[in-house]
Structure 1
Amino acid sequence: MSVITVFNGLFCEAGVVVKRVVDATDCRLVTDQEIVADASKLSGLAEDRIARAFQAKASVFNAFSHEKEQAIAWMRLAVAKRLIDGENIIIPGFASQLPDPEIGHILKVCLISDMKARLGVAEREEGFAEKHAMKLIRKDDEDRAAWVKALRGTDDPWAGTLYDLVLPVAATGVERSADLIVEQLSNAVVKVTDRSRAAVKDFLLAARVETVLAREGHNVLVSASKGTITLTINKHVLLLEKLERELKGIVSDVEGVLAVECQVGKGFHQTDIYRKMDFEVPSKVLLVDDEREFVQTLSERLMMRDMGSAVVYDGESALNLVQEDEPEVMILDLKMPGIDGIEVLRRVKREHPDIEVIILTGHGSEDDRKVCMELGAFAYLHKPVNIDVLSETLKAANEKIRAGK
């Protein structure tokens, strides 16, 4: 039996439609949560970090940490393993976009409804007021649009070219929508063939290569065909030949790879710079200082050393960012308006003890130093600081973090 993938809008009764299809076909349902859990087991990454890839808002550190791309890579591998294990499965939700569209025996379905109908479902099924439901729908549509853009390169998540079947559920009806999906399973176009099974094997090999590259800090597009891997570099790099040699050296050792080819993609000549993740330095450094010119300059100098950094100018903003997007290391000033550095340190180490905090101050006393170290600061430095000294301190903090992991 074919594989069915179902992408949908929020409040489009997709859950009811999918359940009817499952009941009619005896297919196994593979949810987003299961794919995230599989990816977590394969990678060792926390499930919440992987699931964050579904959100439109990427980490402020993502250009250096590649967290979203890593999560996608591991979820692709999780889906590929599911496809290898058998064909009679239904993959709804965000994960439905992960399989290679070249796999012929996948019936790609999109379930969507007009806004009026979606608001009606939200009120009828969940009791949501229109304003609240509209907010939820817009946020979910934004997440899904960003997800499809990242995986398929198109701005329209509902584009008919992405699917074999687009069903307006409100107009078609839940029962008829499910019936149409089941009927299409008999279409010869989505029958399992030797060619479609070979495409699944290619997808699995490409996914394995992608995760191997991710572990080495690389982020390139990967495709496979009969053991030949094609790597597409979509960001500008000055030493292209050197990067190609490094990539080929890594990929050639992967079991099942017979040949490796490199090429540049459409994005290569844009201004975006290719950045390999450097595991010897932290990729998520939060700078907290109310001296704006100083901290912005410091951030630029750290980025020149391949350390991803973000800047905030007060303690409250720092605590808010930590809740949304946990950094690895924080460089923290003591004297700031509002919540001072010592209080920020106290709260961070209490609620997020794995974050290493480096105090960098121009006004601290010996008593302040003692308090900070007792609260768990990794180091206590004075302004002006030598950038090499700060870099070595950051590397030492990173080593502690890696050792802990």
Structure 2
Amino acid sequence: MKNKSRGLHTVYTINVLSGRNHMSSIALFPCLSTLDSGIIGELSSILTLKVYTDENLFGDTVARFGGDPERLKKMMYSRTSVFNQFTLEKEKAVNMFRMVLADKLAAPEQYLFHGFLTSLIPAEVTEVLRVLVVDKKEGRIDRAIKMGLSKGEAKKKIRNHDISAFSWTDFLFAKEAYDSSLYDLVVPVEAKDHREVTKEILSCFHRTSVLRTPESQSAVKDMKMVAEIENLLLAHGHKLGIKAKEGNVTLVIQNSVLNFNGLKQDLTDLIRQIPGIKEITIEKHKSYVETVYRQQKFELPSKVLFVDDEREFVQTVSQRLISRDVGTYGVYDGQQALDLIAEDCPEVMVLDLKMPGLHGIEVLRQAKEIAPNIEVIILTGHGTTKDMEECMKLGAFAYMNKPVNIEELSATIKAANDKVHAMQKKASVA
């Protein structure tokens, strides 16, 4: 069999090496309705691979770190929250996934990884063949209909899957999910059945370059070190690019820093505590962004929704709050606010009472129905005593008049945030 370099998407003649233990694995990224179940069955049976899915990863992550598996699923499958720039929740979830997955890759077992988790396996781990089985949308829809779905249901299910997949790979790589550069082998289904597709994957798998080697296991160790460093940095509110090779670590800062040398020293002192680190290099990204680098302070409000139809007011106040480490996102009408509450669950909402469309009182009422634990601060320039009484009756946290004092608003938001977190802590203990 010819030994081709990784990354060539081609068909290989099968070369079944009888009795030879590859100590290698396969990672199959899902493209809904492309014969995945049949391929998984064939590959796991022929190669005696242990199937490991996203669900397995969620379970192992909860067992190791605690938490809610449904929240982990949301981090993987849902779009990135508008508040994530302040909370770093998705980065933290992905980091936990990487730490669990690195241990799996270091173990002697051979796996058939299947799911979005396959995107977390670095290309440098060459003992894992990263595979995408893909087809045109029409073929996927026809296949889903044959499995019992209506045409409308098939289109909706495939569309939702693709949205999740594209959101995931966009977050990780700023690339589309079915970009061939993310895989070692791309197999178009076309008219093939699952056995023919499996044959193509097997022929590529039985290559010398997919064997477990010292270099590949060194890459697994590098992956584990990067995950450990990332875990420590995220816990201290730092989001950075991280590279590691045989104990030599490079941290990459993307945003401008007022005191680069001071931050450099802080980061060096922080990660020195991780065993195995030899040299530490801290550099600026080639596209160094001229916005101020911020170390996130997780004890401060980070999921605040600001609702007002005056755009300039929202933008100005939001920026002033962010400068006070209050993570704020603005929308400009009541319906936008309700849609975001249903999807993203802010913890505190600052709400203008008088807006076109839905009145602030109605927004407050519906918001409390959607998310009973959200704390709402009412802002108004034209409110009445009756309005205030009705708002407080509906569960508003505070009622404030415009023009608002930014320090007073910031303190009120922090008090509301403290109440939310106290209730969350009480609920977790119960």
TM range (shorter): 0.7 to 0.9
Runs of 5+ consecutive residues of structure 1 not aligned to the other structure: none
Partner residue in 2 for 1:356: 375
Give matches, 1:313-332, under 5 Å: 313-332=332-351
Which of 144, 153, 161 is 1:140 aligned to?
A: 161
Letter in 1 for 2:242: V
Describe the superposition over 1:4-37 as per-residue Cα deviations: whole angstroms up to 9, x where unpaired.
Answer: 1111322211222112212223322221223234
Which of 67, 71, 83 is 2:89 aligned to?
A: 67
How far, CA to CA, are the matches of 1:281 and 1:365 in structure 2? Answer: 32
Contact kept in structure 2, 1:233 and 1:265, CA below 8 Å? yes
Letter in 1 for 2:209: V
Query: Among the aligned pairs, what percent are the same residue?
Result: 39
Contact kept in structure 2, 1:53 and 1:71, CA below 8 Å? yes
Q: CA deviation at 1:156?
A: 6.7
The alpha-carbon distance between structure 1 residues 152 and 171, as it changes in their structure 2 partners (threshold 3 A), is farther
Q: CA deviation at 1:55?
A: 4.9
Contact kept in structure 2, 1:3 and 1:105, CA below 8 Å? yes
Partner residue in 2 for 1:158: 179
TM-score calculated relative to the size of structure 1: 0.88
The alpha-carbon distance between structure 1 residues 350 and 8, as it changes in their structure 2 partners (threshold 3 A), is closer
Letter in 1 for 2:39: V
Partner residue in 1 for 2:300: 281
Which of 35, 39, 47 is 2:57 aligned to?
A: 35
The alpha-carbon distance between structure 1 residues 38 and 250, as it changes in their structure 2 partners (threshold 3 A), is farther
Give matches, 1:3-402, under 5 Å: 3-40=25-62, 42-44=64-66, 46-55=68-77, 57-129=79-151, 133-134=154-155, 136-155=157-176, 157-159=178-180, 161-268=181-288, 270-271=289-290, 274-402=293-421
How far, CA to CA, are the matches of 1:273 and 1:3 in structure 2? Answer: 42
The alpha-carbon distance between structure 1 residues 212 and 344, as it changes in their structure 2 partners (threshold 3 A), is same
How far, CA to CA, are the matches of 1:171 and 1:153 in structure 2? Answer: 31
TM-score calculated relative to the size of structure 2: 0.83
Q: CA deviation at 1:257?
A: 3.4
Contact kept in structure 2, 1:73 and 1:210, CA below 8 Å? yes
How far, CA to CA, are the matches of 1:384 and 1:51 in structure 2? Answer: 42
Contact kept in structure 1, 2:35 and 2:193, CA below 8 Å? no
Q: CA deviation at 1:112?
A: 0.8
How far, CA to CA, are the matches of 1:287 and 1:44 in structure 2? Answer: 32
Q: CA deviation at 1:132?
A: 5.5
How far, CA to CA, are the matches of 1:44 and 1:380 in structure 2? Answer: 38
Q: CA deviation at 1:120?
A: 1.7
For these two proteins, the number of residue pairs brought into alignment is 402
Letter in 2 for 1:60: V
Contact kept in structure 2, 1:362 and 1:383, CA below 8 Å? yes
Contact kept in structure 2, 1:52 and 1:68, CA below 8 Å? no
Secondary structure in structure 1 of the residue aligned to 2:140: helix
Following TM superposition, the consecutive aligned residue runs of length 4 or more in structure 1 with deviations greater than 6 angstroms are: none
The alpha-carbon distance between structure 1 residues 189 and 177, as it changes in their structure 2 partners (threshold 3 A), is same
Contact kept in structure 2, 1:281 and 1:394, CA below 8 Å? no
